[in-house]
């Protein structure tokens, strides 16, 4: 309802101005049109009086300021996407073997493998309705065996 009253008030104001200009043209020129045109003319002359170099300088400062606002404040480190799930079972086994072999090289790869294994365990736990809240902890060192990790995730029954 508020929008309707505002809309009606705007239409009424326009009708009053148009009707007033038709009935009292000299009064409308003196009271409405003349002050508006003088104000616009003053603003136009003010802009024309200032040198164009000032405007270009202000534009450059504003663009530089917005550029600084877009720069991140903290370094978030490198982001690497993990490869998506493989389509074929053989490819999936090869992918997991490659991930486990590379996990001993850098801490980032080790953490990425840790997250993927925990996500896989939770997914499997949800599928077989087991308790999947306990996270897997990888052993430190390079001597990780594929079979021992896979046996933790998929215990043979």
The predicted-structure confidence for 39-91, as pLDDT tens digits, reads as follows 999 999 998 998 989 999 999 999 999 999 888 777 766 666 666 654 565 66
What residues does each domain of the chain span? 2-70, 89-153
Distances (CA, A) of 35 to 28, 32, 40, 92, 108: 10, 6, 9, 78, 69
Give the model's pLDDT for residue 143.
Answer: 46
pTM: 0.33
- Cα–Cα distance between 36 and 45 in angstroms, integer? 14
**In this predicted structure, what is the pLDDT of residue 123?**
80
- Mean pLDDT value across the chain: 77
Cα separations (Å) of 1 from 4, 8, 10, 12, 14?
5, 11, 14, 17, 20
Give the residue ranges of DSSP H helices in 71-145.
89-102, 107-128
pLDDT bracket for residue 35 (50, 70, 90): very high
């Amino acid at each position: 309802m508020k929008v309707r009253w505002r809309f009606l008030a705007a239409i009424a104001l326009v009708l009053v101005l148009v009707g007033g200009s038709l009935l009292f043209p000299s009064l409308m020129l003196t009271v409405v049109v003349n002050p508006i045109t003088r104000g616009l003319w003053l603003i136009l002359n003010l802009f024309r009086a200032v040198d164009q170099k000032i405007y270009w300088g202000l534009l450059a400062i504003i663009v530089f300021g917005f550029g600084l606002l877009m720069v991140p404040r903290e370094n978030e480190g490198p982001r690497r996407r993990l490869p998506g799930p493989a389509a074929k079972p053989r490819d999936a086994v090869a992918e997991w073997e490659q991930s486990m072999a590379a996990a001993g090289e850098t801490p980032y790869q080790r953490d990425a493998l840790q997250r993927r294994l925990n996500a896989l365990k939770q997914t499997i736990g949800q599928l077989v309705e087991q308790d999947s809240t306990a996270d897997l902890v990888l052993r430190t060192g390079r001597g990780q065996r594929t079979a021992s990790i896979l046996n933790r995730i998929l215990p043979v029954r």
